[in-house]
Structure 1
């Protein structure tokens, strides 16, 4: 068991998570600024809750570990259903609009144990309008898409697999500093766990499946809004002294990786005096098939 005197702050509850498809890819570029922009732009909008792709940066890769000897970034892209055709389309938007358009970028497959492959010719390769071609480069089967700054290269097949989405924890804070300083330190610890991403980083908007406005999708989890505690009275679930309830969401390629990421992130936050409680979002089994008990993370 982890020796942390503050484990009594951990709520006796669980995080509810669900399965989803993910694609793990490596983007490389000539310079660090372009690489950074491509990586962050392509993963900037978490969208699984509204039927779109969401993503995150898993890690940065040094030139000696990339096929073309340039700096790279491992990206994960996730989709919350088993509709592979829709995933392929949604993924192509991120590649075409955020990576292909950046000067001198290349995209490689980086899926460790794929269950299948997405053929990138239909949705990305044909951006060449029929002038694209295939070529073996760096020992990979690449599509070369002719563009005005020659040329975008993408591996013909990107692997996909099934992983865990939506795992989460909430850290209930007395002050604003704990929200940002604690959250950022937790994110740095999570970054050291291979195979996971945090698509929202520090998230300020916990949601719930039930809503008065179904065309919006998930709306605010009102019992956990500190600004509504007086209005809601007994319905409020905000503990005394808590003024902020940020959330960190984790997607990962295995349950082991997800649980490790949750554990190391929570461990960091338990050392903050103004973090009064750590809890998690769950919806009575309405969201997903996985229940990750917070206290068991520390056994």
Structure 2
């Protein structure tokens, strides 16, 4: 048995749910057959993004990433820009960090579709483990 790597992720911020879902599905399709990588959530997509733990319920392993939930803008310190009404997250686990990065190099460009506003990533303060996937570095050699 080989130890794996978790924590690869990116968030798709889009104008509406249809645009976000189309972008997420395109990203999942691009990454699905990448060797050494799995997308551990059903259909490869996480709604509204997730975060490690909970501020309110200490026993929760993962909860809604409220800074990236458009419907919670008025109740939290939102990081959702104006014009963005849907956020979906793609989570990647793999056999090693280079495999996850290679999949992200395929998935992120595929997610750049009409109605999409931006791609970003969740940063969970090291709570997902020692690996950090910096999108600017990963995508620096992609045209």
The structure having more radius of gyration, on CA atoms, is 1
Instruction: Name 2:62's counterpart in structure 1.
Output: 218
Instruction: Looking at secondary structure, tell me which structure has more strand per residue.
Output: 1
RMSD: 1.5
Q: Structure 1-normalised TM-score?
A: 0.44
* Unpaired segments ≥5 residues, structure 2: none
Q: Deviations over 1:34-86 (max 9, x none)?
A: xxxxxxxxxxxxxxxxxxxxxxxxxxxxxxxxxxxxxxxxxxxxxxxxxxxxx
1:203 pairs with 2:46: yes
In 2, distance between residues paired with 1:208 and 1:227? Answer: 19
1:284 pairs with 2:125: yes
Aligned match for 2:108, one of 245, 252, 266: 266
Residue-pair matches, total: 137
Instruction: Name 1:230's counterpart in structure 2.
Output: 74
* Unpaired segments ≥5 residues, structure 1: 1-159
Instruction: Name 2:4's counterpart in structure 1.
Output: 163
Following TM superposition, the consecutive aligned residue runs of length 4 or more in structure 1 with deviations greater than 3 angstroms are: none
Compute the displacement of 1:164 (Å). Answer: 0.8
More moved, 184-193 vs 211-220? 211-220
Q: Structure 2-normalised TM-score?
A: 0.87
1:256 pairs with 2:101: no
Contact 1:206–1:246 (CA under 8 A) maintained in structure 2: no
Compute the displacement of 1:189 (Å). Answer: 0.6
Q: Deviations over 1:161-196 (max 9, x none)?
A: 012112110010112222222211111110231111
